[in-house]
Amino acid sequence: MTRKRLNDPVALAKVIEQSSGPLYDLFLAGNDGRIHRWHHYFDSYERHLSRYRGRPLRMLEIGVQYGGSIGMWAEYFGDQATLVGVDINPAVSVFDGMRPNINIRVGNQRDTAFLASLEAEFGPFDVIIDDGGHTALQQIETFNFLYPAMTEDGVYVCEDTHTSYWDGFKDGGTDVTFIQYTKKLIDVLHSPYHRENLFLSRYGTAPADREGALQTYRFAAETHAILIYDSMVFFERRPRAEPFHERR
């Protein structure tokens, strides 16, 4: 038998239903065509967000469009959740208060004064989902601004990162994409082990001054894991201690 290789050319199976679980069931039940999501996203959502069901969660979703997904989240998380949906399109205002726990605000995700006003009114957020405009600078700048102000065990999701491979979304130059930025953040996650600075300045985050070895960046100190899925990146927050190992 021929040995399988990682780079064998293969065709993907054509299957519509690609997830399972309560959130996916809500999506499949539909909302008059007002929810727009890729089917394979739901397993990842269930894995990372199910722990918030029935709890007093504060969630921000960037990208409201037809109001379907914010309604789906409200149904999924329950009455104790505070849900905030934002969109650049003023037409989404009609969805403000469509349930008592749904709040809609209009603004640009690249406007940090607008993002700060959301934090002041509703934060700190436990969960943030960026399903907005999906350009590189929107994704990177929104993440840079919002992530440090989240709750210490929160979850940040950047959706539709396949746009990193589509020219129409590269508003910061050909090699500036959220996937490229994520690769850099994987290095930063390991910064407690570095003796050299990592330079993120081109992405808007200035390198910290370092005195001596084994200092680290705030991102590393506050991030437990970066989970990279097809078209989604999840960041799980958790305070980290200085790595320590011993022989016992």
- 36, 39, 134, 162: the catalytic one is 134
Is the CA virtual torsion 205, 191, 176, 123 positive or negative? negative
By CB under 6 A, name the one of 60, 88, 115, 155 that touches ligand SAM. Answer: 88
CB of 171 to ligand SAM, least distance (A): 10
SS3 221: helix
- Residue 216 is a binding residue for ligand SAM (CB under 6 A): no
- Helix 136-146 to helix 178-189 angle, to the nearest 10 degrees? 30
By CB under 6 A, name the one of 37, 58, 105, 237 that touches ligand SAM. Answer: 37
Q: Counting beta carbons within 10 angstroms of the beta carbon of residue 142, is it exposed (0 to 12), middle (13 to 18) or buried (19 or more)?
A: buried
Residue among 35 and 102 whose Cβ is closer to ligand SAM: 35
Q: What kind and span of H or E run contains 103?
A: strand 102-106
Residue 245 is among the residues annotated as catalytic for this protein: no
Residue among 84 and 220 whose Cβ is closer to ligand SAM: 84
Mark residue 162 as left, alpha or beta (left: phi above 0; alpha: psi -120 to 50; beta: remaining): alpha
Number of chain residues interacting with ligand SAM (CB under 6 A) = 20
SS3 105: strand
52, 189, 208, 215 from 196: Cα distances, Å: 38, 14, 11, 10
| Site stretch for ligand SAM (CB under 6 A), options 34-42, 48-56, 145-153, 203-211 | 34-42
- Residue 138 is a binding residue for ligand SAM (CB under 6 A): yes
| Site stretch for ligand SAM (CB under 6 A), options 131-139, 170-178, 179-187, 228-236 | 131-139
CB of 235 to ligand SAM, least distance (A): 19
Looking at the annotation, which residues are catalytic? 134
